[in-house]
């Protein structure tokens, strides 16, 4: 069974009487362990799609199933719990809390899931080891380079062992060299069996993922799926 199941999802905004369809009748499945990218120019609706997939937003119409649970009409409290337990986010601007140390930043998701102190620390250190920054745990985020900050953000996204990680333009704020290193890290994580969705406007970045979904005007315009290669250009 698919990890994520989107069926006929629409998101409609009303802006001064005008109806804007940010997402228009989108259906999509993501299998566990997949490494996919969602591509599209700005304004295409890819961010909206990611927000809905990431439980930050709810669709106007349609149904979403995540890990066997229907979430399209969940309460904000339930969504917060799902974000905490099943989803990891990596953002373009890293979004680390500057006043907390690297370790505390990584611990933060576990603070909200109510884990005891000692376990929080152990798991955060493990996650930092995974991204190669275990010796930077006492530093503040601003004392690190951009690439290192993004690694911390990835460690934070992974620390609660989420079902799926969303990365929104994770290399957008990095030079191409560090950007490639980050993409390499994602590829490695994917090979370890994690489900990762990259959201980007750059086809070169999307090229690292086997499966690519192109969004245009709120609809899936093109889909490249290695399993269905050649059969389904959509």
Give the pair of three-digit tokens for residue 11: 């998101």
- Complex with another protein: residue 112 or 204, whichever CB lies closer: 112
CB 28 within 8 A of CB 204: no
Among 41, 43, 69, 112, binds another protein (CB under 8 A): 112
224 DSSP β-pair partners: 212
- The angle that helices 176-191 and 146-158 make with each other, rounded to 10 degrees, is 20
Contact characters 4-33, another protein, x per CB under 8 A: ------------------------------
Contact characters 113-152, another protein, x per CB under 8 A: xx--------------------------------------
Residue 114 CB, shortest distance to another protein, in Å, is 7
Residue 184 CB, shortest distance to another protein, in Å, is 24
Q: Is 99 a residue that touches another protein (CB under 8 A)?
A: yes
Maximum separation of any 2 CA atoms in the chain, in Å: 54
Which residues touch 77 (CB under 8 Å, ≥6 apart)?
A: none
Q: Is 186 a residue that touches another protein (CB under 8 A)?
A: no
Q: CA 150, CA 158: separation in Å to the nearest integer?
A: 12
Q: In the chain, which ranges are E strands?
A: 4-15, 18-30, 35-39, 61-66, 69-70, 87-90, 164-168, 195-200, 211-216, 219-224
Q: Is 84 a residue that touches another protein (CB under 8 A)?
A: yes
Q: CA 114, CA 108: separation in Å to the nearest integer?
A: 10
Q: Tokens 């993922």 appear where?
A: 209
Q: Is 101 a residue that touches another protein (CB under 8 A)?
A: no
Q: Pick the piece of the chain touching another protein (CB under 8 A) from 28-36, 87-95, 177-185, 214-222.
A: 87-95
Q: Is 57 a residue that touches another protein (CB under 8 A)?
A: yes
Q: Is 74 a residue that touches another protein (CB under 8 A)?
A: no
Among 45, 59, 109, 218, binds another protein (CB under 8 A): 109
Which residues touch 230 (CB under 8 Å, ≥6 apart)?
A: none
Per CB under 8 A, residues contacting another protein are: 51, 54, 56-57, 76-77, 80-81, 83-85, 89, 91, 95-97, 99, 108-109, 111-114, 156, 160
């Amino acid at each position: 069974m698919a990890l994520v199941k989107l069926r006929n999802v629409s998101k409609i905004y009303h802006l001064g009487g005008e109806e804007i369809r940010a997402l228009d009748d989108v259906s999509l499945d993501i299998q566990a362990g997949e490494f996919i990218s969602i591509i599209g120019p700005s304004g295409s609706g890819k961010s909206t799609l990611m927000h809905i997939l990431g439980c930050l937003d709810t669709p106007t119409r349609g149904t979403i199933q995540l890990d066997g649970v229907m979430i399209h009409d969940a309460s904000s409290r339930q969504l917060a719990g799902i974000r905490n337990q099943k989803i990891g986010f990596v953002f373009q601007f890293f979004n680390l809390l500057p006043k907390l140390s690297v370790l505390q930043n990584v611990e933060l998701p576990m603070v909200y899931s109510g884990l005891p102190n000692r376990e929080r620390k152990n798991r955060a250190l493990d996650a930092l080891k995974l991204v190669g920054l275990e010796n930077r745990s006492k530093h503040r985020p601003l004392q690190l380079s951009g690439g290192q900050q993004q690694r911390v953000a990835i460690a934070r996204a992974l620390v609660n062992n989420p079902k799926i990680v969303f990365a929104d333009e994770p290399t957008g704020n990095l030079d191409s060299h560090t950007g490639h290193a980050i993409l390499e890290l994602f590829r490695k994580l994917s090979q370890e069996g994690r489900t990762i969705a990259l959201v980007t406007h750059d086809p070169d970045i999307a090229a690292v993922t086997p499966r690519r979904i192109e969004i245009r005007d709120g609809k899936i315009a093109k889909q490249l799926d290695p399993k269905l290669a050649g059969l389904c250009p959509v």
